[in-house]
């Protein structure tokens, strides 16, 4: 539900919420093993972009290699500040998120974090 809300509010064809098995970093700046990814994706967009690996959007380093016009992500953190996942949105339209859209992405991340901790 939160991934769908993120995609709709940010006007992006895809949004993901990814949780990591470990604290999210392997010491080299890449995401740890993925435990779970929730995806909201426009089927037409996915059909037009078959080379995009949506599951990789939870790792900024690998997401950036996919030639997306837009990629934005905010880390999910646990109580001690460790990264436990990522909320991300993407699309093929080259644009940056506005300050308001970035704030929306941060709010959705805070909601996802609260749900995880509940």
Ranges of residues in the chain whose predicted pLDDT is under 70: 22-34
Give the whole-angstrom CA distance, residue 54 versus residue 56.
5
Q: Are 68 and 91 in contact (CB under 8 A)?
A: yes
- pLDDT (tens digit, 9 = 90+) per residue, 18-51? 988 764 444 444 455 667 888 999 999 999 999 9
Residues contacting 118, CB < 8 A, separation 6+: none
Residues contacting 28, CB < 8 A, separation 6+: none
What pLDDT is recorded for position 44?
Answer: 96
């Amino acid at each position: 539900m939160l991934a769908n809300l993120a995609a709709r509010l940010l006007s992006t064809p895809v949004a993901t919420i990814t949780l990591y098995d470990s604290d999210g970093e392997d010491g080299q700046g890449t995401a740890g093993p993925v435990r779970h990814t929730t995806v909201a994706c426009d089927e037409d967009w996915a059909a037009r972009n078959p080379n995009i690996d949506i599951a990789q959007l939870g790792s900024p380093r690998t997401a950036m290699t996919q030639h997306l016009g837009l990629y934005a992500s905010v880390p999910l953190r646990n109580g001690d500040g460790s990264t436990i996942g990522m909320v991300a949105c993407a699309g093929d339209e080259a644009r940056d998120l506005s300050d308001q859209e970035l704030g929306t992405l941060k709010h959705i991340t805070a909601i996802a974090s609260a749900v995880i901790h509940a």
